[in-house]
Amino acid sequence: MNAAVKPEPVDPVTRKPQGCTNFKLRQLMRQVTQHYDAELGKTGLKTTQYSLLSHVFKLGPIRPVDLAQAMRLDASTLTRNLRPMIDHGWLVQGEGADARSRLITITPAGRDKRVEAQRHWKVAQEALNRTLGVERVLAIHALVDDSLALLGAATEGASHD
């Protein structure tokens, strides 16, 4: 069983991170994405597509702007990711409350595809938990959540200056 690596207290005056944090995070993300994509690919979906189906399933029908905000995506990325999902018949974009608004809804075929993919996602998640150890995965989740909150607050504070 893998033991969680506990970071040692860092004295910011004498010890600083070496290398680029962005690069290190991108390396980790590439490997994690490849891990999930290998398993989800058995369903014909990428990890991003499974996430999109799951968000629309849980939140839909939903306006694209609200979906982009919930997924922390910009509008152009969401539009690019929606197109193949709509083309496959897993999602539909219909009219909203007025002529200018649109709503994204999951179809019965999309629900079926999500259920199929969910089984594969679970296999990928459990394999990652075994490889890294549950404690390390929990620590990653906590660190990411805390970091997002801190960065979000810093960004929000900067926009009010």
pLDDT, tens only, 23-43: 999 999 999 999 999 999 999
Q: Looking at residues 73-93, what average pLDDT do you find?
A: 94
Quote the pLDDT of residue 153: 79
Query: Tokens 């891990």 map to which residue?
Result: 35
Instruction: Locate 8 and state its tokens.
Output: 């040692």
In angstroms, what is the C-alpha Rg of the chain?
19
Query: Tokens 């990325």 map to which residue?
Result: 77
Indicate if the pLDDT at residue 62 is higher than 90.
yes
With CA atoms as reference, report the closest residue to 36 among 125, 98, 129, 103.
Answer: 125
- pLDDT (tens digit per residue) in 111-135: 999 999 999 999 999 999 999 999 9
Rounded Cα–Cα distance for residues 115 and 160 (Å): 43
Q: Are 94 and 103 in contact (CB under 8 A)?
A: yes
Cite the beta strand spans of 15-145 per DSSP E.
91-95, 102-106
Instruction: Locate 101 and state its tokens.
Output: 């608004």
